[in-house]
Amino acid sequence: MNHFFIKTAWRNSESIFFVFLSLLVLLLVSACHQATPLYKKEFTPEQKTQYAKQLLDGVGRYYQGMPENYFLMQEALSLDTSNADIYRELGVAPLKRGLISQFQDGYAKAVELNPLAWQAWRGYLHLYFHRDYNNAIKDFDAADPLTPNFVDYPQSQSIDLMRGICYLMKEDYPRALHYFDKHFAYESKEIGIKYLENKAFLYQGISHFKMGAFQKAIDIFDLGLQYNTTAPDLYFWKAKCLLALQGDAKAITTTVEQVKQQFNRRNQRGYVEEFYQLYWSDVEELEAALENL
């Protein structure tokens, strides 16, 4: 019984051994056939930063706001979540297309990550695209101390000029003049009065006009016209001042003629209207008022 048991056990263990060995060989063979694991590139931190930037630059290959742009930006963010420019770019198409409720999705994060680059810029957008003067002022005021002794120019426009426009539109004319005067003094000193754009004179003059200081306004418009001889907006507001002062009808007529001749050179903006946008109907209304003088 014992002998039989041992022999059977030996035979069984022998079989088990060979089956095990066979399985091992089969396993080895099948391991050779096993699919290679899917490849995924490991980027260095430097490569991640670089490719995130390049992917963001790559969005220009597609029309702004297309899904292609979105996926490129998401890819860029998967590599570098600290790149403020990507968040900013995500906000541009909603901004241009009037999707105001989506505006902050990108810009708030961009400002948080890089206020030096985007705080004043967002102020510019609040001012022109949303006519949101309070939030524009908040952004300009927050951005200004970030660059001490230096005037910021988001989208090539002085934040002092834009702060002045904000207060002008809020009908706070003394504060508007404070910033227009500041802008005027700084620009005159740094680059020279003859390089000042006509809007610096225009909005400063309009602030005086609104306060009833018509002669002061005329002096500013005249100064602006010395360097911007073809600016119909300056001629128009000068004519309004002359009319308000009930000045010489001939002088007013001559000024209005200048407005009409130079009308096509009026201030205009790309996506939105200018503040105090000049219309042909404004000129007609001025002429009608002149007839009643």
Partner 1 sequence: MKQPLNIALLLGLLAVASIYATQKKENNNFLANPDILKTGIVHKYYYSITEKGGYTSETDIEYRYYQQGKTSNELIEKRYNPAFKQDWESTYQLQGNKVKLEQRSTMNWYGDTLNFGLGDERIYLNFGTDEALSEVSISYPNGFSRHITQETRAIGDTLINEMPAKIVTRNRTIVNTKVDQTVDTTEVKIKEIYVQNFGLWSMVGEDDKQSYELILVEQLLPEPFKKMAQHDMKRVGYIDFDKTLDKEKPFSLCKRQIEMVDYYNSSDVANRAHFIGGKKPLKAYVFDRLEEQKLHKESGYLTFRFVVNCEGKAGRFTTDQSSFEYAQKEFHPETVQHLYEILKSVPQWSPNTGRGQIRDAYTYITFILKDGKITELLP
**Nearest distance from C-beta of residue 126 to partner 1, angstroms:** 10
Contact by Cβ (8 Å): 68, 62? yes
Biggest CA-to-CA distance, the chain: 140
Using CA atoms, how far residue 150 sits from 147, 162, 278, in Å, is 6, 15, 33
Task: Based on the shown chain and the rule CB under 8 A, indicate whether residue 259 belongs to the binding site for partner 1.
Answer: no
Using CA atoms, how far residue 199 sits from 33, 75, 87, 254, in Å, is 75, 42, 31, 22
Using CA atoms, how far residue 70 sits from 30, 43, 58, 113, 191, in Å, is 43, 22, 11, 20, 41
Distance CA 57, CA 222 (A): 45
**Nearest distance from C-beta of residue 106 to partner 1, angstroms:** 11
Question: Smaller CB distance to partner 1: residue 1 or 29?
Answer: 29
* Residue count, binding to partner 1 (CB under 8 A): 61
Which residues, numbered 115-174, are part of the site for partner 1 (CB under 8 A)? 129-132
Question: Smaller CB distance to partner 1: residue 219 or 287?
Answer: 287
Among 6, 57, 146, 192, binds partner 1 (CB under 8 A): 57
Task: Based on the shown chain and the rule CB under 8 A, indicate whether residue 5 belongs to the binding site for partner 1.
Answer: no
Question: Smaller CB distance to partner 1: residue 22 or 226?
Answer: 22
Tell me the three state secondary structure of residue 34: coil
CB-count burial class (<10 Å; 0-12, 13-18, 19+) for 130: middle
Question: Smaller CB distance to partner 1: residue 195 or 271?
Answer: 271
Task: Based on the shown chain and the rule CB under 8 A, indicate whether residue 276 belongs to the binding site for partner 1.
Answer: no
Which residues, numbered 63-122, are part of the site for partner 1 (CB under 8 A)? 63-68, 70-72, 75, 93-94, 96-104
Task: Based on the shown chain and the rule CB under 8 A, indicate whether residue 271 belongs to the binding site for partner 1.
Answer: yes
Among 1, 28, 194, 250, binds partner 1 (CB under 8 A): 28
Using CA atoms, how far residue 174 sits from 148, 166, 180, 208, 219, in Å, is 24, 12, 10, 9, 18
CB-count burial class (<10 Å; 0-12, 13-18, 19+) for 208: buried
Question: Smaller CB distance to partner 1: residue 75 or 219?
Answer: 75
Secondary structure letter of residue 265 according to DSSP: G
73 membership: H or E segment, kind and range: helix 67-79
Task: Based on the shown chain and the rule CB under 8 A, indicate whether residue 288 belongs to the binding site for partner 1.
Answer: no
**Nearest distance from C-beta of residue 75 to partner 1, angstroms:** 6
**Nearest distance from C-beta of residue 88 to partner 1, angstroms:** 14
| Options 28-36, 211-219, 239-247, 254-262: segment touching partner 1 (CB under 8 A) | 28-36
Task: Based on the shown chain and the rule CB under 8 A, indicate whether residue 44 belongs to the binding site for partner 1.
Answer: no
Instruction: Give the distance from CA 60 to its chain's centroid.
Output: 16
**Nearest distance from C-beta of residue 38 to partner 1, angstroms:** 4
Query: Where do contacts with partner 1 occur on this chain (CB under 8 A)?
Result: 11, 14-15, 18, 21-22, 25-26, 28-29, 32-33, 35-36, 38-41, 51, 54-55, 57-58, 60-68, 70-72, 75, 93-94, 96-104, 129-132, 268-273, 277, 279, 281-282
